[in-house]
Structure 1
Amino acid sequence: MKWQPSRKDELTLQQQIIQWVTKHIERGDWVAGTKLPTQRQLAMQFGVNRSTVQQALEELKAAGILESKVGSGIYVADNSWDSLMTQTQPNWQKYIETSLHKPNYHTIQLINEYEQRDDVIRLGTGELAPSLLPTAEIEESLKELSLQPKALGYSSPQGSYKLREAICGYVKKRGIHAKPQNVCIVSGALQALQLIAVGLLEQGSIVFQEQTSYLNSVHPFQSVGMQMIAIDRNEQLAQTLAQRKRKRQAVFYAVPTLNNPTGGVWTTLEKKNLYEACKSSRIPIIEDDVYHELLFEAATAPIKSMDESGQVLYIGSVSKTLSPGLRIGWLIGPTTVIERLADIKMQTDYGSSAISQEIVLHWLRSGKYEKHIKSLRKELLRRANFIEGILQERFTEMASWDKPKGGFYIWLKFHEPIVDKDLFTKLLQRQVLINPGYIYDPQDTRHIRLSYAYATYEELEKGLKILFDVVKKSK
């Protein structure tokens, strides 16, 4: 106990005393309940004024490390170890709360958590059922692939040249004329949105979208400081865009074919009107076209097919058709844009999976992909008819819906505003998981996104019966 604080140290005498006391407790020299020497004794030992010791001890008491007992003295507090851990560890909660990327809605966090459970009926899931994935065919494809050593290394910034070439041939059937240098392979459509957000837009930029939008359930733009503005596509669209944009940067996010979550499909005229309205204000369009292959009837040409000036950034993916686990999508746009976003992608993940790219290339080149799509559409149509039959039998007096045109979803609208967190929780307690409308539009209390793509036929029937019972009791 011969230690004394140094007057030459960068720390003050008071700070050095605090550290000395703290180290004794951390090493276990002074356990909980240990009585400290008096302030006078410590002042003499340290060679400092009593007031300096008093200030140091008061700070340790305020931190919960020491405690006073009236008429007895100062002791090591019972919870001193917990207090010390709080003092020595980073304040992770503060780091989290002040970070750039904001947390998702609690409902969506619960959806992400419960989707991993096998005992839950998933009535809102936006992916194909395991039984609809061509697992055996993909496994067989691995035997057919002839992988070169280079293919197993890091991909080029824009992705496999051969795959980009194959994608150009594939989208040409949709009226999109692109070259490999116009394509960037991405790890799903969401990554494309994230790359656009950080690579093309300044903070405070506007992202126009429809009122009910998938973007409200994820935060690729919101978390980097973009302003989300819902727009009605009416006769005043061009004027409204010009007025709201003014001198700021802006983009328009659109899902013209099988909108997520509503399942809506735009007409060719509606696509043309949006293109012209955005063109007049020089607003780029992000066309998310990941569902178009799942239309039950022939699809109309995408907005990108009308693009003559590189105004449209086009997103495609195999996540909704072949396998979400492959994590392969593509972004088509002007060369300068693609090179910029490819550079950012290389800084974040060094390219999408080389093996996944080889699998998708094989499926596109061999014709397996289009053959699979045809059979997949037939099965989704059967499922859509099945779930609609149940709705017609049970739900006509409490809800309405449009006949599904393809994809995964029916946008079920209840006559009363009953879709809230309470309804979500009640269904979850009965092991039924839904996607409520308020995660796509915070003001929506009437809609549920029903998916017929994931649950089994038995689960769909059981889940909808539970939904019916819970809603009926809630009214």
Structure 2
Amino acid sequence: MKIRLERSSGVPLYQQIEQIIKEKISQGEWPPGTKIPSQRKLADIFEVNRSTVTAALDELTAQGLLEGKRGGGTIVTNRTWSGLTEWPVLDWTGYVRSGIHRPNSLTIQEINRQEFKKDIIRLGTGELAPELLPYQQMKKILQDAEAGKLMLGYEEPKGNRYTREVLAAHLKEKGIHVSPDSILIVSGALQALQLISIGLLKRKAAVLTEKPSYLYSLHIFQSMEMRLYGLPLDERGLDPAVISACKKQHGADLLYTIPSFHNPTGFQMAEDRRKELIQVSKRLSLPIIEDDAYGDLWLDMPPPSPLKALDQDGNVLYVGTLSKTVSPGLRIGWVAGPEPVIDRLADIKMQTDYGSSSLSQWAAAKWISSGLYAENLKLIRNELKKRRDTALRCLEAYFGGLARWEKPRGGFYIWVTFLKPLAISALFEKALKKNILINPGTLYDKEAKQSIRLSYSYASRSDLENGIRIVAQLARELM
């Protein structure tokens, strides 16, 4: 977030910054104990040189409002305010630290902030570029809405009935046969995982997943003290043969997998492994969460049938979303599974937010039932294929002899692994200084210290080329 200073004012810029920070402190936005942004971040926020920020912080420190902590940055001190009242100062920082949900890693927090910076090249972003989002079509759907059919109040616990009927028909086209009563509409796939973590699993449960995995970048399960165990992954996807041994050694209460165009590697689970995984699940009584966020985004040919289409025993919870194919802002996803499980998750969702947006549910149903979903998918696949091929061409041109990667058959991602030792954290920082955002592999596997997740879904083709070229140059310098 940028804060505009009055550059034509007679008040020096450092004094304006001093006053803004002082107001945040005095109004309780930055209470005592708050760690303020770094000088580099403040310089970025105010669009000034670091020396200007330093001057402002020096003044505030001299006034007793700030103090530097060795290795801990600069914090708001309570010395000044505690002297003005007989009551002790509320320690909000202590509350923040004691919350049971773990915070994002500092790298993810930095990525979340920098993604909205002007002119940044986003090589790691897992969403469609703005120009690929269907603004005009969605506008027409909303304009053509009949007031009598719109629902602006609360919906049923499982979601709008018509929307669930449309989704049931949509899933049938994938070979998944579920009734509307076995579908729960959620606010994106991420909420589905949150509901499952608190609604179906006990504390310290053992959760199996691919390694690397998107799940490692989240703290949904870890915050509930659950244990994550990684399973080997190659170009043919997760290997079901190792599950029995892992369960025997660590236990296994659940398996989370992204079989089609895996995040972050882009790999696709082979059909024979899918069939084997279903058999293993049946033999071990092991529930599976199938995350199929990218299944419709095939670029060369459709992937094998989803695991849920092979599931005759109700062992698979199938999670889908429109965030990757239509719009992340719509915030509509779904879970399909055994009815008692869906009832349980629906009850928890009602306790959490009393249902997803009724307007978004209606728009999603109209989008799918009208044929616009299938029509728009063709356009998105065509554009993603161009971007993927551009990314692969640039990798060949600039990363040749530097790293290895596999051609993804769909989805958003290419998993790039450097051939020689390289400090990925340093590469991340150097790229950021060049206005390029990359996603270090350690976000998805702590041991993936030589890898990055490259996304071709957001950056334009020209930005892909410039970004990949610069990152390659930086990597060679670091080596």
Short-chain TM bin: 0.7 to 0.9
Q: Which amino acid aligns with 1:197?
A: S
Q: Which amino acid aligns with 1:279?
A: K
Does residue 244 of structure 1 match 2:234?
no
2:387–2:460 contact (8 Å) kept in structure 1: no
1:419–1:437 contact (8 Å) kept in structure 2: no
Distance 1:373 1:150, change over 3 A: closer
Q: Which residue of structure 2 lines up, in the alignment, with residue 411 of structure 1?
A: 415
Q: Which residue of structure 2 lines up, in the alignment, with residue 423 of structure 1?
A: 427
Does residue 400 of structure 1 match 2:409?
no
CA distance in 1, matches of 2:193, 2:84: 43
Give the count of matched residue pairs. 397
Does residue 262 of structure 1 match 2:239?
no
Q: Which residue of structure 1 lines up, in the alignment, with residue 162 of structure 2?
A: 162
Does residue 284 of structure 1 match 2:287?
yes
CA distance in 2, matches of 1:220, 1:447: 24
CA distance in 2, matches of 1:389, 1:176: 37
Deviations 1:274-308 (A, max 9, x none): 22212222110000001010011122101111111
Q: Which residue of structure 1 lines up, in the alignment, with residue 104 of structure 2?
A: 104
CA distance in 2, matches of 1:150, 1:187: 19
- The structural deviation recorded for 1:234 is 4.2
Q: Which residue of structure 1 lines up, in the alignment, with residue 144 of structure 2?
A: 144
CA distance in 2, matches of 1:85, 1:306: 67
Distance 1:234 1:320, change over 3 A: closer
Overall identity of the aligned pairs, in %: 42
2:334 is aligned, of 311, 330, 337, to 330
Q: Which residues in structure 2 correspond to 1:278-427 (within 5 Å)?
A: 278-296=281-299, 297-427=301-431
Q: Which residue of structure 1 lines up, in the alignment, with residue 123 of structure 2?
A: 123
SS in 2 for 1:372: helix
Does residue 194 of structure 1 match 2:199?
no
- The structural deviation recorded for 1:172 is 0.6
SS in 1 for 2:290: strand
Q: Which amino acid aligns with 2:354?
A: Y
Deviations 1:333-358 (A, max 9, x none): 11110011011111111111111111
- The structural deviation recorded for 1:89 is 3.0
Does residue 133 of structure 1 match 2:133?
yes
Q: Which amino acid aligns with 1:276?
A: Q
Q: Which residue of structure 1 lines up, in the alignment, with residue 462 of structure 2?
A: 458
Distance 1:119 1:150, change over 3 A: closer
Distance 1:236 1:380, change over 3 A: closer
- The structural deviation recorded for 1:85 is 6.7
Q: Which amino acid aligns with 2:253?
A: A
- The structural deviation recorded for 1:145 is 1.7
CA distance in 1, matches of 2:342, 2:205: 20
Deviations 1:209-239 (A, max 9, x none): 1110001111111111111111235474243
2:206–2:228 contact (8 Å) kept in structure 1: yes
CA distance in 2, matches of 1:388, 1:242: 38
Distance 1:418 1:474, change over 3 A: same
- The structural deviation recorded for 1:133 is 0.5
CA distance in 2, matches of 1:401, 1:433: 19
Q: Which amino acid aligns with 2:198?
A: V
Q: Which amino acid aligns with 1:244?
A: Q
- The structural deviation recorded for 1:150 is 6.4
CA distance in 2, matches of 1:451, 1:114: 16
1:285–1:313 contact (8 Å) kept in structure 2: yes
Deviations 1:163-203 (A, max 9, x none): 10011101111110000000000000000000000000010
SS in 1 for 2:414: strand
1:238–1:280 contact (8 Å) kept in structure 2: no
SS in 2 for 1:152: coil
SS in 1 for 2:116: coil
The two structures have a TM-score, normalised by structure 2, of 0.80
- The structural deviation recorded for 1:321 is 0.4
1:419–1:447 contact (8 Å) kept in structure 2: no
Distance 1:394 1:90, change over 3 A: same
Q: Which amino acid aligns with 1:312?
A: V
1:447 is aligned, of 432, 446, 451, to 451
Distance 1:262 1:359, change over 3 A: same
CA distance in 1, matches of 2:365, 2:194: 24
1:328–1:357 contact (8 Å) kept in structure 2: yes
2:295–2:303 contact (8 Å) kept in structure 1: yes
CA distance in 2, matches of 1:231, 1:394: 32
CA distance in 1, matches of 2:81, 2:386: 62
- The structural deviation recorded for 1:81 is 3.4
CA RMSD of aligned residues (A): 1.8
- The structural deviation recorded for 1:84 is 5.8
Deviations 1:391-416 (A, max 9, x none): 11111120111112111111111111
SS in 2 for 1:416: coil
Q: Which amino acid aligns with 2:437?
A: L
CA distance in 1, matches of 2:127, 2:197: 24
Bigger radius of gyration, 1 or 2?
1
Distance 1:419 1:144, change over 3 A: farther
Q: Which residue of structure 1 lines up, in the alignment, with residue 183 of structure 2?
A: 183
Q: Which residue of structure 2 lines up, in the alignment, with residue 208 of structure 1?
A: 208
CA distance in 1, matches of 2:459, 2:222: 31
Q: Which residue of structure 1 lines up, in the alignment, with residue 7 of structure 2?
A: none
Q: Which residue of structure 1 lines up, in the alignment, with residue 12 of structure 2?
A: none
SS in 2 for 1:294: coil
Distance 1:236 1:372, change over 3 A: closer
Distance 1:85 1:196, change over 3 A: farther
Please identify runs of 4+ aligned residues in structure 1 that moved more than 6 A. none
CA distance in 2, matches of 1:299, 1:87: 64
CA distance in 2, matches of 1:325, 1:418: 36
SS in 1 for 2:365: helix
SS in 2 for 1:313: strand
CA distance in 2, matches of 1:299, 1:166: 22
Q: Unaligned 5+ residue runs, structure 2?
A: 1-63, 65-77, 233-237
The two structures have a TM-score, normalised by structure 1, of 0.81
Distance 1:212 1:458, change over 3 A: same
CA distance in 2, matches of 1:85, 1:430: 48
